Amino acid sequence: MPLSHQVVWLFLLALPIASIVWTVTHEEVFREPREFCSQKSKDSRSLVRRKFFYLFTCEYCFSHWVTVFFLIITRYKLLYPDWRGYLVSLFALVYVSNFYIGLFGHVKLEVRKSRAEIEAIEAQVEQTKAA
């Protein structure tokens, strides 16, 4: 596959990886399992169990496992046609997907900030109307 296609695939494959990782590590739909894993990562006696459960609460850590899953189902390789291509693509996909996650987190924070500002302005308007 030409390098240009590999790069396009890199940025495209990172999107669903970032989406899955964000959803599992941040969204309400997975809150209970995330809280369970968070508690187990703190309370387990075994180091292996603590680290295993931590993987589901850390977006960076979890992105590695989601990326491995995507590499298995897509067989995507970057730069090299052998095992080295898998290794390079693993870390490149993790990097790009975490970049996307950072961007999304920043945008989501800005949206929350804007909503809070709008609510404050609306409250001021209501107070002015009442007075």
- Indicate if the pLDDT at residue 131 is higher than 80: no
Q: How many CA atoms lie within 13 A of 55 on its CB side?
A: 11
Taking the CB of residue 80, how many other CB atoms lie within 10 A of it? 12
Residue 67's pLDDT is 97
Looking at residue 103, its amino acid is L
The alpha carbon of 6 is separated from its chain's Cα centroid by a whole number of angstroms, namely 22
Q: Full-prediction pTM beyond 0.85?
A: no
Residue 39's pLDDT is 94
Residue 130's pLDDT is 82
Residue 129's pLDDT is 86
**56, 34 contact by CB (below 8 A):** yes
- Indicate if the pLDDT at residue 127 is higher than 90: no
- Indicate if the pLDDT at residue 41 is higher than 80: yes
**95, 13 contact by CB (below 8 A):** no
For 79-118, what is each residue's pLDDT tens digit?
999 999 999 999 999 999 999 999 998 998 888 899 999 9
- Indicate if the pLDDT at residue 75 is higher than 90: yes
Name which of 18, 33, 4 is nearest 67 in CA terms: 18
